[in-house]
């Protein structure tokens, strides 16, 4: 591997995706800006896929966790394992494929605008040129929306699938908040980063990732938790009212399990508790 051209380290988070993680690592290895260090975090997958990592990517360091501690804590663990102390940290999830110039363009944004503390790429659907996220905004009711037009508006939050952060600012805001476990931690981090510097999407940095709906429990719980933590009282009230309305709709359609999961999520959002109920990964279906 050639000498690093920029000072950044990478944390790749893996959890039970299979061999596709090696496509992510291959795309990373083709970056025109070579990382100083790569740490792959196995979040207690137990599937043996990363047993092949030393043979296929010998320069990558493997960190194997003994239990699934969620996205936030696992990403923090990966950042802590970057022993070369790079100036910037790239966080990447196991299914993201970056174009070869992606990181170079992200780093160039830091060079161009010193106020930027965290940047993300345009996210497009695998195998297409269709962009589904240039970061996101928060609407007047506390809902998060993806920006689909590159020039439409400034991003208020960035997707956690692919994030490049200045390390000193990451440290100053305390890294990812582990209370979220999964989902909304990127919104929370973006809001905290905005207090110490700007954030932004870099449209000419492109990565590919397919979309997916968030589970009812985590989407509801973590939205409530986020607005409570950030003391956005109107957003908290609006989000709670919408969740209660959805509970009523669930009950009206005989979807009692959905109503139970949503109510559990509401309670946990206000208390900060995290359910271990097996239904917490239940996702919305069409009525």
CA 273 → CA 71, 179, 218, distances in Å?
A: 17, 8, 12
| Pick from 109, 99, 91: nearest CA to 202 | 109
Q: How far apart are CA 243 and CA 221, in angstroms?
A: 10
Q: Is the pLDDT of residue 3 over 50?
A: no
Q: What is the helix (H) or strand (E) element at residue 10, kind and residue range?
A: strand 8-14
Three-state SS for 29-56 is HCCCCCCCEEEEEECCCCCCHHHHHHHH
Q: How far is CA 231 from the centre of its chain?
A: 22
pLDDT of residue 240: 97
Of the given ranges (105-109, 110-114, 149-153, 193-197), which has the lowest mean pLDDT? Answer: 149-153
Q: How far apart are CA 283 and CA 287, in angstroms?
A: 12
Find where tokens 């497009």 sit: 124
Q: How far apart are CA 225 and CA 268, in angstroms?
A: 8
Beta strands in 81-236 (DSSP E): 88-93, 97-98, 116-124, 131-133, 136-138, 144-146, 162-166, 198-208
pLDDT band at 5; cut points 50, 70, 90: very low
Mean predicted confidence (pLDDT) in 49-66:
96
CB-CB contact of 160 with 136 (8 Å): no
Q: What is the pLDDT of residues 253-270, one digit of tens each?
A: 999 999 999 999 999 999
- Residue 213 tokens read as 């709906």
> What DSSP letter does each residue of 45-101 carry, written as one string?
--S-GGGGHHHH-TTSEEEE-SS--HHHHHHHHHHHT-TT--SEEEEEETT-EE-TT
Q: How far apart are CA 93 and CA 75, in angstroms?
A: 9
pLDDT of residue 6: 64
Q: What is the pLDDT of residues 105-127, one digit of tens each?
A: 999 999 999 999 999 999 999 98
φ, ψ dihedrals at 63, nearest 5°: -115, 115
To the nearest whole number, what is the mean pLDDT of the chain? 94
Domains of the chain, each with CATH number or no CATH? 8-208 (3.90.550.10), 216-281 (no CATH)
Q: Is the pLDDT of residue 139 over 80?
A: yes
Q: How far apart are CA 205 and CA 150, in angstroms?
A: 12
What count of other Cβ atoms lies within 10 Å of the Cβ of residue 67? 8
Q: How far apart are CA 56 and CA 184, in angstroms?
A: 33
> What DSSP letter does each residue of 185-202 carry, written as one string?
HHHHHHHHHTTTSEEEEE
Mean predicted confidence (pLDDT) in 87-92:
97
Q: What is the pLDDT of residues 215-231, one digit of tens each?
A: 999 999 999 999 999 99
């Amino acid at each position: 591997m050639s000498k690093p051209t920029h000072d950044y380290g990478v944390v790749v988070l893996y959890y039970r995706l299979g061999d596709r993680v090696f496509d992510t690592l291959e795309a990373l290895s083709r970056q025109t800006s070579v990382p100083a260090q790569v740490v792959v975090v196995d979040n207690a997958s137990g599937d043996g896929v990363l047993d092949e990592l030393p043979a296929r990517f010998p320069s990558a360091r493997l960190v194997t966790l003994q239990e699934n501690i969620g996205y936030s804590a696992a990403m923090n663990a990966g950042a802590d394992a970057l022993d070369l102390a790079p100036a910037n940290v790239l966080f990447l999830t196991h299914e993201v494929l970056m174009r070869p110039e992606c990181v170079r363009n992200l780093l160039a944004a830091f060079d161009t605008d010193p106020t930027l503390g965290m940047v993300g790429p345009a996210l497009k659907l695998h195998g297409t040129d269709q962009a589904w996220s240039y970061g996101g905004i928060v609407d007047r009711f506390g809902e998060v929306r993806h920006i689909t037009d590159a020039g439409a508006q400034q991003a208020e939050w960035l997707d956690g699938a692919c994030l490049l952060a200045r390390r000193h600012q990451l440290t100053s805001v305390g890294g990812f908040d582990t209370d979220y476990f999964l989902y909304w931690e990127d919104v929370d981090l973006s809001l905290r980063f905005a207090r110490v510097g700007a954030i932004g999407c870099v449209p000419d940095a492109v990565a590919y990732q397919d979309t997916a709906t968030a589970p009812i429990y985590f989407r509801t719980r973590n939205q409530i938790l986020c607005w409570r933590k950030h003391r956005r009282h109107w957003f908290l009230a609006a989000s709670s009212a919408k969740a209660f309305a959805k509970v009523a709709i669930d009950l009206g359609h005989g979807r009692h399990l959905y109503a139970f999961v949503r109510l559990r999520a509401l309670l946990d959002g206000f208390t900060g508790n995290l359910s271990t109920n097996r239904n917490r990964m239940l996702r919305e279906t069409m009525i």
